[in-house]
């Protein structure tokens, strides 16, 4: 079970890795927040890094 402080990976709905960070809320809290809140403090943005390197 996920707990606040755990390292997590963030994936798009298509399964693409978007980033890695630290969970700020419990699993149930994160699910109830929806898209308008902060559930994970990202420390590495994979998609953004790839886009910058292609420019």
pLDDT in tens, 36-49: 667 888 888 886 55
Q: How far is CA 9 from the centre of its chain?
A: 6
Closest CA to 5 of 39, 31, 36, 37: 39
With a cut of 50, say whether residue 8 has pLDDT above it. Answer: yes
9: three-class secondary structure by DSSP: strand
The reported pTM is 0.63
Residue 55: predicted pLDDT: 46
Residue position matching structure tokens 């399964």: 15
List, edge to edge, every strand of the sheet that includes 7-11. 7-11, 17-23, 40-45
Residue 38: predicted pLDDT: 75
């Amino acid at each position: 079970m996920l707990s606040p402080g755990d390292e997590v990976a963030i994936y798009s709905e298509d399964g693409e890795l978007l980033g890695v960070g630290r969970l700020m809320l419990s699993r149930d809290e994160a699910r109830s927040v929806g898209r308008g809140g902060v559930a994970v403090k990202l420390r590495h943005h994979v998609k953004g890094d790839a886009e910058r390197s292609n420019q």
